[in-house]
Amino acid sequence: MNDYTLVLGVDARHLQQLSIVWPTWRRHKPSLVRQPTVIFYDREEVTPLDISKVLGDTCSSGTTLVSWPPEGVTYPQGTTRWDNQQRYKMLAGFVHVPPAFVKTTYWLKIDTDVVATGNDDWIDPHWFSGHPAIVSQRWGYTKPADQMDRLDEWSQRIESDDFPFLLPPLRLHPRPNANSVAHKRIISWCAFFRTEATTSAASYAEHNCGLGLLPVPSQDGYLWYFCARQGWPVVRTQMKSRGWKHRNSMASIRDAATEALYGQPNPTT
């Protein structure tokens, strides 16, 4: 399946991560870096020159750089890690940027803390046999615990006859004092999204929340919820078995990338 665009989002921290993992993508997934690419960047922290230095000669005419967010859009200051202002800003880009710039049937989100380890033949064509809205790493819970309740409440406040959800609210209520709610969903550190589905979700969010905004500060939470309420198929798979390692600290990213490139975490030469 080659009809997809790679979409990345970078601020200063994510660009530093990308500089570490990009060589592993080039080494182990060379077809990936030849795909059309859209990179949206936080213009307060990153410049196009910064990005070109990281991508090197792979930053070609097939790469589109998008300044983010739109002029005049601001994000609220959050009080927790889940509604952190910078996090919200960057995640919102993965909803609102692809509809404007992606021309392919699907687009692929890979987080900048993901290291490529396996061979280039990693995409299973059977994933796309039913034209799913999402193909992503499977996941089993949502944090914060009230996120799905908040999406239900939001949808009921603004739902209208001109754009109704096809299925009823999900009613995924957390247990008392729980910090998460258990259910089958996705986590999008490596995920394909059908562009048409994202376009619908982005349009609905913009119409009801405002330019560049989301009903909750979570890209995969919102997109998964939107697709679930529309009854669109979602493929939950195991991306870890397809030659990807997801890491969560700069040190672990460096170690995994070094091992992927040199065969050991800390080469002596």
pLDDT tens for 183-196 read: 999 999 999 999 99
Mean pLDDT (whole number) for 11-31? 97
Q: What percent of the chain is modeled with pLDDT above 70?
A: 94
In degrees, rounded to 5, the angle at the alpha carbon of residue 199 between the alpha carbons of residues 198 and 200 is 90
Q: Residue 59 — pLDDT band, cuts 50, 70, 90?
A: low
- pLDDT grade, residue 266 (50/70/90)? low
Write down the pLDDT at residue 157.
86
Residue with tokens 């009854």: 231
Q: What is the mean pLDDT of residues 81-106?
A: 97
What digits encode the pLDDT tens for the residues 129-159?
999 999 999 999 999 999 999 999 999 888 6
Question: pLDDT class for 79, splitting at 50, 70, 90?
Answer: confident
Question: Which residue ranges form the domains of the chain, and what is each CATH number?
Answer: 4-262 (3.90.550.10)
Burial class (CB in 10 A: 0-12, 13-18, 19+), 115: buried
**pLDDT value of residue 195:** 98
Distances (CA, A) of 133 to 87, 174, 236, 237, 269: 24, 26, 11, 14, 46
Q: What is the pTM of this model?
A: 0.94
The predicted model gives 191-210 an average pLDDT of 95
Report the percentage of the chain scoring pLDDT > 90. Answer: 87
pLDDT, average across residues 209-237: 97
